[in-house]
C-alpha cells in the first residue's frame, strides 16, 4: 500500500512539474492578438537566448516582454499563496487559515498603499518593504486581538476577519483621500488582484523570494508534521516551538508581501489549494509542500487565462476570478468532508 501511494504521489508531482512549462507557453499564446504555439515557443526560446528565429518584432515583444513575464508571475504567486496557506493551516491547526482571511494580505495592501500614495518612508523602503511591514503589523495585531478573545484557533480566524475589514477600510480611506481619480481607479483595480502591470523585474523578484521561502519551509517540513498534534507534543519531540513559529510566520509574511506589492491581494488560493493537495497527497509536509506549490502555479495560470478571455477585449482582476472559482470549490470541499475538528 505504501509503495502504491508513493508511486501515485510521485506521478502527481511529475505530472505537475512537467506540465507547468507547457501551461506557461500556452498562456503566453493566448490574448487579443492570437499567436501560434510554434511562434510563441520560438519567441520564448529567443528570449532565453537558446535560439535565434526570425520573428515579427511585435509578436516577439508581446510574447516575451508581456505575456511570458505575466505567466511566470501568475505561476510563482499562485504557488507562493498555496504554500503560505498550507503553512498557516498547519501552524494554527485551523483549516480556514490563509493570508487573505487572516488579514495578512490586507495589512500588506495598506503598507504598500501608504508608501505608494502617501510617500511615507519611500526614501527608506520600497513598496515591497512597506507591504512586508504592513503584513507583519497586521498579523501582530491579529494575534494580540485573538489573545484578548481567548487565543484559540477559531478566534484567530474571527480576529483575522476583523483585522481584514479594518485594514481594508484604512486602505480605502487612504485611496479616497490621497489619490486623484485616475490613481484611485488604478489602485483599486490593483487591490483586486491584477497581473496587467507585471514585467520581468517583478516576476524575477517574486520567483526568487518565493522559491527561497519554499526551500526554507521545506527544511521545517517534518517539524510542521508534529504541529498537527499540537504545540505541546511538538515541544516534547524537541521542537523549539516559538522560534519555528516566528521563522515560518515571517517567511509567510514576506512571501505574501512580495506578492501583494506586485499583483495586489488575491484570495482563496491559499485556502482551497492546501485542501485539494491533502486530498491528493496526504498530510506529510515533505510531500504536500511541493505539490501544493505546483497546484497553486497551475491554478493561478488558469485563473489568469480566464480573466483575459472571459470577456472579449476586457481583462478582469485575477482576484475576482480566484474568488469565483475558489469560493464554490471550498464550499464543495466543506460539504464533502466537513471542517476538521482539532
Average pLDDT over residues 1-21: 87
- Angle CA(113)–CA(117)–CA(120) in degrees, nearest 5? 85
Q: What totals of helices (H) and strands (E) does the chain contain, helices first?
A: 15, 0
pLDDT at residue 301 in the model = 96
pLDDT at residue 327 in the model = 83
The residue that leads in pLDDT, 208 or 183, is 208
Instruction: Please state which of the ranges 11-20, 36-45, 143-152, 193-202 shows the lowest mean pLDDT.
Output: 143-152
Highest mean pLDDT among 95-109, 253-267, 287-301: 287-301
The total number of structural domains in the chain stands at 1
Number of other residues whose CB lies within 10 A of the CB of residue 261: 27
Average pLDDT over residues 247-274: 89
**pLDDT > 70 fraction of the chain, expressed in percent and rounded:** 93
CATH number, residue 313: 1.10.3470.10
Give the tens place of pLDDT for each residue, 48-103: 999 999 999 999 999 999 999 999 999 999 999 999 999 999 888 888 888 888 88
**Separation CA 104–CA 69 (nearest Å):** 25
**Separation CA 290–CA 34 (nearest Å):** 33
* Total residues found in the chain within this entry: 342
Q: Taking all residues of the chain, what is their mean pLDDT, rounded to a whole number?
A: 86
CB 298 within 8 A of CB 174: no
Residue 340 confidence (pLDDT) above 50: no
**Separation CA 117–CA 184 (nearest Å):** 10
Q: Which pTM was predicted?
A: 0.89
The residue that leads in pLDDT, 133 or 45, is 45
Domain that holds residue 93: 1-338
pLDDT at residue 341 in the model = 44
Amino acid at each position: 500500500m505504501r509503495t502504491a501511494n508513493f508511486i501515485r504521489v510521485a506521478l502527481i508531482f511529475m505530472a505537475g512539474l512537467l506540465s507547468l512549462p507547457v501551461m506557461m507557453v500556452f498562456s503566453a499564446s493566448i490574448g487579443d492578438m492570437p499567436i501560434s504555439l510554434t511562434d510563441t515557443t520560438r519567441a520564448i526560446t529567443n528570449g532565453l537566448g537558446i535560439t535565434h528565429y526570425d520573428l515579427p518584432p511585435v509578436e516577439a515583444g508581446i510574447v516575451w516582454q508581456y505575456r511570458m513575464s505575466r505567466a511566470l508571475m501568475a505561476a510563482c504567486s499562485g504557488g507562493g499563496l498555496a504554500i503560505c496557506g498550507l503553512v498557516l493551516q498547519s501552524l494554527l491547526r485551523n483549516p480556514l487559515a490563509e493570508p487573505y482571511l487572516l488579514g495578512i494580505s490586507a495589512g500588506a495592501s495598506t503598507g504598500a498603499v501608504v508608501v505608494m500614495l502617501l510617500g511615507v518612508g519611500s526614501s527608506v523602503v520600497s513598496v515591497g518593504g512597506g507591504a512586508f511591514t504592513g503584513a507583519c503589523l497586521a498579523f501582530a495585531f491579529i494575534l494580540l486581538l485573538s489573545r484578548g478573545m481567548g487565543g484559540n484557533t477559531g478566534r484567530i480566524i474571527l480576529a483575522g476577519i476583523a483585522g481584514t475589514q479594518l485594514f481594508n477600510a484604512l486602505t480605502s480611506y487612504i485611496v479616497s483621500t490621497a489619490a486623484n481619480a485616475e490613481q484611485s481607479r488604478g489602485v483599486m483595480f490593483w487591490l483586486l488582484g491584477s497581473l496587467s502591470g507585471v514585467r520581468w523585474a517583478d516576476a524575477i523578484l517574486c520567483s526568487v523570494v518565493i522559491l527561497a521561502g519554499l526551500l526554507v519551509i521545506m527544511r521545517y517540513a517534518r517539524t510542521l508534521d508534529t504541529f498537527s498534534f499540537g504545540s505541546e507534543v511538538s515541544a516534547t519531540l524537541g521542537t523549539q516551538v516559538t522560534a519555528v513559529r516566528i521563522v515560518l510566520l515571517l517567511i509567510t509574511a514576506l512571501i505574501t508581501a512580495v506578492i501583494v506589492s506586485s499583483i495586489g491581494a488575491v484570495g482563496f488560493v491559499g485556502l482551497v489549494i492546501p485542501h485539494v493537495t491533502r486530498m491528493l497527497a496526504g498530510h506529510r509536509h515533505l510531500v504536500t509542500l511541493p505539490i501544493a506549490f505546483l497546484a497553486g502555479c497551475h491554478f493561478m495560470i488558469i485563473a489568469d487565462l480566464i480573466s483575459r478571455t472571459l470577456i472579449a477585449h476586457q481583462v478582469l482582476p485575477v482576484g475576482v476570478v480566484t474568488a469565483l472559482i475558489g469560493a464554490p470549490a471550498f464550499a464543495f470541499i466543506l460539504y464533502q468532508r466537513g471542517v476538521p475538528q482539532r
